[in-house]
Structure 1
C-alpha cells in the first residue's frame, strides 16, 4: 500500500531549514536526523529563500486567488453595465416616438 502523506507546519519547515545553517550541518545529515528526504528539505529552503517565509508564500497565493476572483467579478459587472447601456438606449428611442 502507499505511504500516507505527512503534513508539516510552517514553523517546523523553518526550523528544519535553520538547522542547515548550523556549523557542520549538511542537507543529508539534517534530512536524515529529521526523517525527511533531502529533496524535501531543499524545496523548503528554496521556498523560504524565494518568498522570505512560508507566511509570505501563503499571502502571495491568497492574493493571487483574490485577484482571480476580482477579475471575474469585474468582467461580470462590465457585462451588466453593457446590458444596462443597451437597455437604456433602447428605451430612450422608444420614449422619443409619440
Structure 2
C-alpha cells in the first residue's frame, strides 16, 4: 500500500505490540497488513533520538531487560487467557 497514511494512534499501538508485548516485527506487520520497513521506521521515530549515549554493555543489558519484560507480560496475558478457558470448560456439563 504505497503512500498509505496511518494515524499516529495506529502507529503507536503497532509499536507497542513490538516493544511492550514482545511480538516480532514480522508478526505485527503481517497481522496489520503493513510493511516491516514501516514498523522499523515508526519504532525508530518513537524511540527518541535525544537520549544520551550509553556504553554498549549498558545498552545490551537494557535491551535484554526490555525483551524479558515484554516476554513476561505476554506470558502473563497468555496465562490469564488459559485460566479463563479452564474455568469455562470446568463449568460446562458433560
| TM superposition score normalised by structure 1 | 0.45
- Larger RCO (CA under 8 A, 6+ residues apart): 2
Which structure has the larger Rg over C-alpha atoms?
1
Larger helix share, 1 or 2: 1
